Amino acid sequence: MELQNLELIALVQRAQTGDRVAFGELFERFERHVLAIAIRRLGDYAEAQELCQDVFIQALTKISQLRQPEAFAGWLRSITNRMAINRVVRKSHDQPLDNEALELNCIVEETPLENALEDERKDRVREGLAQLGDVDRETLEAFYVRGQSLVEMADEFDAPLGTIKRRLHVARKRLAKHVEELVAV
């Protein structure tokens, strides 16, 4: 075995007997490695630093259980991976949702009653459109359904812009009158 491995084995064996200075040296040698794994797993530097501390506390309490001192690096890596996975799983269950997330995902903004009323309004508008003359209906459909601008409508209907504005105004009034009559019935 090379000298570096022999030194590592000696440090681990000393740490297993309770030598805190030896464990401190192991910490210094492997801290960056553990931190790199933690950052890769958690994606957050502060969380990774906290996990790194937890990993070394765990390693300190369990180092006497390590049977093969030469396997310290792999043993520490497996502790890091396991604790990172546990932290991610625990974090996903423990974190409260913020108000924005609740609004986007949980709060129903439309009630069945509102949906029914909206459907009824749409039906009234369709019935009102059916009762309008061709020019009024085509004007409203061009503007509201097809989303044409007033200029595009003037081109399509071959009429001056002022005429299109007037037609749109008159058509709206007539539709409102028909819809009101439908509501009154």
| Among 69, 95, 121, residue at a domain's last position | 95
User: What pLDDT score does 129 carry?
Assistant: 85
Q: Which domain holds residue 57?
A: 3-95
Q: How many domains does the chain have?
A: 2
Chosen domain end from 95, 126, 148:
95
The CATH number of the domain holding residue 147 is 1.10.10.10
Query: How many Cβ atoms from other residues are within 10 Å of residue 132's Cβ?
Result: 18
Output the domain CATH number for residue 88. 1.10.1740.10
3-state secondary structure of 83: helix
Region 88-96: mean pLDDT is 68
65 and 124, same structural domain?
Answer: no
Same domain? For 67 and 26 the reply is: yes
| 97 residue type, one letter | L
Tell me: the pLDDT tens digits for 70-87? Answer: 999 999 999 999 999 998
Residues 124 and 91 in one domain: no
Let me know whether 127 and 170 are in one domain: yes
Same domain flag for 10 and 81: yes
In this structure, are 13 and 74 located in the same domain? yes
Whether the CB-CB separation of 72 and 13 falls below 8 Å is answered with no
Q: How confident is the model at residue 14 (pLDDT cuts 50, 70, 90)?
A: very high
**Closest C-alpha to 84, from 46, 37, 26:** 37
